[in-house]
Amino acid sequence: MNLNKFLDVAPEVAAAVAAGKPVVALESTIISHGMPYPQNVETALKVEQIIRDNGAVPATIAILGGRLKAGLSAEEIEYLGKQGQKVTKASRRDLAVLVARKADGATTVTTTMMIAHMAGIQIFATGGIGGVHRGAETTMDISADLEELASTPVMVVCAGAKSILDLGLTLEYLETHGVPVIGYGTKELPAFYTRKSGFEVDYRMDSPEEIAAAFHVSRELGLKGGMLVTNPIPEEFAMDHDVINKAIDEAIAQANAQGIHGKATTPFLLAKVKELTGGDSLDSNIQLVFNNAKLAAQTAAKLCAMN
């Protein structure tokens, strides 16, 4: 399926890709579904600025009027922020319908990776990836993000998998599908709001250059699939492990009681955790995205020097 005829690449992004300059993709679900307005727009614009400050070009990705967009204007980001949850949260299964209907979609990790790859962008910064949900052995609730990591050659820089997931099973799934999981400055998988999870990643790497080199060789070898770089939330913004886990357990119990499932699960749980932590989780969420954008931009710059 040739999706490229449905793709619009912003001129600045297209010029940077053509010239071999560093570009970092950004998702849009975090704008429409991850935070309230106007914090969502302020955060999105700040993340783009951090990427510029670290030597790369930002490319926020979304679906607008049925067009796949790699690189949004400030006005388009404002539009997504104001529309909020009225915009469809778009995973791989939603793409064809949204394009056919000329509708809007906020891209998840999955669809951001797909559109970034179409546009020639190799590195993507996000908050946290989806994964295997708790209880997946009976519900089969597994994020499409994991399948995309197994098949699309884009590096994803994140703060680990969201703590609302079954982190052990998420790592097992990634291992089965041959996706290397890198810990930046750590051998322990970070768990989004907290720096610790009790689970080990495959490799520890201590510099953007080392990460870029591994991804460069992966591409040179022709290996299919991406690479997951997990970057712990800065110490000063990390939340207490016990506090966040207590809030997550309570949120999951409420989701089960209300029959919340499928793609509604993550937004419900994150909103409930925010409520239960008095907003601290939202502050942590914003700071870890900033931190990931910086590392992604620095890594993109090193990768371009190798290419």
Active-site residue numbers? Answer: 27, 162
Which is nearest to 180 in space by CA: 212, 152, 214?
Answer: 214
Phi, psi of 29 (to 5 degrees): -60, -35
3-state secondary structure of 303: helix
Looking at residue 228, what DSSP letter applies?
Answer: E
Handedness of CA 142, 161, 204, 149 (dihedral sign): positive
Q: Which two tokens stand for residue 207?
A: 């510099």
Q: Report the alpha-carbon distance of residue 1 to residue 267 in Å, rounded.
A: 30
- Bridge partner residues of 129 (DSSP): 161
Q: Determine contact, residues 189/197, Cβ cutoff 8 Å.
A: yes
Spell out the residues 6+ positions from residue 45 whose beta carbon is closer than 8 angstroms to its own. 74, 77
CA dihedral (139, 144, 147, 151) in degrees, to 10, reads 170
Amino acid 141 reads D
Amino acid 93 reads R
Q: Report the alpha-carbon distance of residue 38 to residue 26 in Å, rounded.
A: 18
